[in-house]
A = this chain, B = another copy of it.
């Protein structure tokens, strides 16, 4: 079974990586880009019977820094 975890910086947390992408796109002439936020997408291959609670534990303990990042789980 598969699960997807997306990890994004919380609103209000400075995102220098996204800002660099925005700046680069603007320099390339893509003036329609008003803002960019960059996060992580983690695809997990899991054994059958893995519960959402297990994935929440993985996120809280390793995948996301919950002080500055939020995460979303799709199963």
Name A residues whose Cβ lies closer than 8 Å to a Cβ of B. Answer: 6, 8, 18, 21, 24-25, 28, 30-47, 49-50, 54, 57-58, 61-63
Number of copies: 2
- Quick check: A41 and B39 within 8 Å, CB to CB? yes
Contacts of A57 in B (CB 8 A): 30
Contacts of A34 in B (CB 8 A): 45-47
Contacts of A54 in B (CB 8 A): 30, 32
Q: How far is the CB of A16 from chain B (nearest CB, A)?
A: 14
* Given A21-B62, A63-B21, A39 and B43 contact (CB-CB distance below 8 Å): yes
Which of B24, B37, B42, B44 meets A43, CB within 8 Å?
A: B37
Q: How far is the CB of A14 from chain B (nearest CB, A)?
A: 15
